Structure 1
Amino acid sequence: MDTIWSKESDAILKVGRSLKDVGVCNWALTKEETLMALDQLETEGIAILGGDVYEMQRENLQSNYDNWYCDRGENESKSAFVSRSIAKAREYVSNYKLNRDAEYYFAIVPKS
């Protein structure tokens, strides 16, 4: 697979399941994988622009249309944006209400 975001981001995110089959150039990660990836992306200084939620339905991942986003403030430094965007993503994923019967995955959109 070609580079999607950057070599650094792709190396972290490709632990997830490919979304190529649903026409999306990204990976979907479990909650635990997502939280670990956010730690690694923060260490690399990579901000998160947002993300999407996917559900496993009949052996296939499908978007459930839940998502979050984070824009950089007008006078916000890069490091402040990285910290704030990671914190927002971590909060969204950590607090996402999981239905016991559903299997959820998160696709992260890192800043390239």
Structure 2
Amino acid sequence: MDELDIEQSLAQFDREWEKNDRANTRGDRHTQLSLFTWEDSHFATSGDIEAETMERQLMDVVFSSLSPRQRKLLWQVAVEGYTFTEIARVEEKSESAIRKAYNRAVVTARKVCERIDR
């Protein structure tokens, strides 16, 4: 391989690298909006903004009707995925006490939802 072949190969390599490098840095232009997330929620909505707003308002009313303890339990179990055993261990209470407190919170939340639906 002589110097001319090496120079041509290097020039070809440089052209390909610039082409690939530019393509890799410009990928954001071709990304779908529905793939972007912000704090685990998609920017794109389901299309029914009114229904989503009403659901959020309902959840605000339900959560405001619960005690801070009940809100915390519902959040830990439903959102964070903790088990009753894990919560009981942290709070140094029995699992059955945590389970009963959680069930009371669910009953209270259901009663609030029933009152609102009427």
Tell whether the structures are fold-level matches, with TM greater than 0.5. no
Between structures 1 and 2, the one with greater strand share: 1
Between structures 1 and 2, the one with greater helix share: 2
- TM-score for the superposition, normalised by structure 2: 0.28
- TM-score for the superposition, normalised by structure 1: 0.29
